[in-house]
Amino acid sequence: MVRCNNCGKIFANENDIPLLVEWKNGETKLLEVGKFTKPGGETFRGCPHCMTDAYLMDMEESKNES
């Protein structure tokens, strides 16, 4: 499980995190499936609300100890 600590959105796993693309001009957008990726953009998985992966935190799935 992965959580965005900025907005609190939770992703089931890494594959559940949408792909974002950051262009050279600093613009970050959701990568649209089926569209060609133009060169010059860097794709990464990140929170679609915050448009960054800076707040994504891995969370342990089985935390039964408390």
Could you list the residues that contact Zn ion (CB under 5 A)? 4, 6-7, 47, 49-50
Of the two residues 27 and 49, which places its CB atom closer to Zn ion in the complex?
49
Closest distance of CB 4 from Zn ion, Å: 3
Of the two residues 6 and 43, which places its CB atom closer to Zn ion in the complex?
6
Of the two residues 5 and 43, which places its CB atom closer to Zn ion in the complex?
5
Q: How many residues does the chain have?
A: 66
